[in-house]
Amino acid sequence: MNRRCLLHHRRGEGGMTLLEVVMALFIFTLVAFSMVRALDVAFDAAKERNEIDRAVIGLENQIALLHMSQLVPIDKDLPDDGSGVLYHVTVGVEQMQDQKNQPVGGMLRATITATWQSEGQTEQRSVSELIYQP
């Protein structure tokens, strides 16, 4: 092959032009920005999910504590457990009847409400359970 042919190149085939480099950087920037935004949304969702999980676990613990004690009708705030979630318990007598329309005694409705702050807004979750104590 002729050495001149190998060294000869035509105009426009020599590498990337400045416009191509700018376009590639622009596309890369858009993809990178989208990934950062997606990660930010994912972290926010995970934080919110963790807050809800903490409240739900606290509610389950509070219900378990109610099951271990003799219940009386009450409506009060529970002491702060340091988790940032505040709990309120309400226990009331539940009026129920059996199949013969006879009153059933010892039925109590326990409701516990968890309240916490998330991103400046007040969030709440509640659990209610019917408990029989003869």
Tokens of 5: 């042919």
| List of E strands, 30-120 | 74-77, 86-93, 96-97, 103-104, 107-118
Q: Which of 75, 72, 71, 73 is nearest to 90 (CA)?
A: 75
Q: Is the pLDDT of residue 54 over 70?
A: yes
Q: How confident is the model at residue 75 (pLDDT cuts 50, 70, 90)?
A: very high
Weakest-pLDDT range from 13-17, 51-55, 78-82: 13-17
With 0.75 as the threshold, say if the pTM is over it.
Answer: no
- Per-residue pLDDT at 9 exceeds 60: no
Q: Which of 35-44, 56-65, 78-87, 105-114 has the highest mean pLDDT?
A: 35-44
